[in-house]
Amino acid sequence: MLLAIDVGNTNIVLGVFDGDRLVHSWRLTTLRERTSDELGILVTGLCEHHGVAPAAVTGIVMASVVPPLTGTLIAMARHYFDREPLTLDPGVNTGMPVLYDQPGDVGADRVVNGVAAFERYGRPAGQPVIVVDFGTATTFDAITAQGEYLGGVICPGVQISADALFQRAARLPRIDVRKTATVIGRNTVASMQAGLFWGYVDMVEGLVRRMRHELGEGALCVATGGLAATISAETDVIQHVDGELTLYGLRIVWERNQ
């Protein structure tokens, strides 16, 4: 069994694979001050609760964009699973050429998403791929028809934008981001929700169309992350929604390194 770990700024996402089948996945809040013992107890507890003995885990693969937690999780893997984890390094061990000016600057999770999206959707169709990840930041990644990571776009995440409105405008309240029945709001909360939600829908449509103009009009668009299903329901520019894209990418990269 393979334990895949994606360390993001908001969540740590974990998945257990039995062969190529994802059998369990969990989310933990990303807390930079957590120790390897705290994480070890949490992760082994989740595994055992779902019938996965830590000794049954024969490999661990990890992508991290939170440097303070990278070493902590490596120590956790060594102490609680007796395994040396494969830690992803973009442009070095992912099996995907990275055409960024500085390959080391691109987040490991973005390359992993690109690997999974290309193998699951782009390669079978013979098409380039655009990956939209609705995470802490909203990222757009371009994968060529040859399976190369070309580059992308980074935008503030929708929750970051909502928080910025609350923090910087004295009379605006803190709100939850949700779809509104109309674009024109009849009160302050509805107006803010409409701006955030429909503004993000239009942002996604506009950027995907512009990226297709550069990458190829036949480029497939794959969405992942928290708002992927919600946003994709309101636009026709997204062809696939894959909530576990990063975990599948980690499994593919693990296999490439064996």
Separation between Cα atoms, residue 231 and residue 202, nearest integer Å: 10
Q: Which of 109, 133, 141, 242 does the annotation list as catalytic?
A: 109
Cα 234 from chain centroid (whole Å): 21
Q: Is 109 a catalytic residue?
A: yes
The whole-angstrom separation of Cα 20 and Cα 23 is: 9
How far apart CA 212 and CA 220 sit, in angstroms, is 9
Closest CA to 62 of 8, 23, 135, 134: 8
DSSP string, 180-243: -S-SS-SSHHHHHHHHHHHHHHHHHHHHHHHHHHHH-TT-EEEEEETTHHHHHTT-SS--EE-T
- Spatial separation of the C-alpha atoms in residues 249 and 68, rounded to whole Å: 23
Give the DSSP letter of residue 161.
H
Which residues are annotated as catalytic?
109
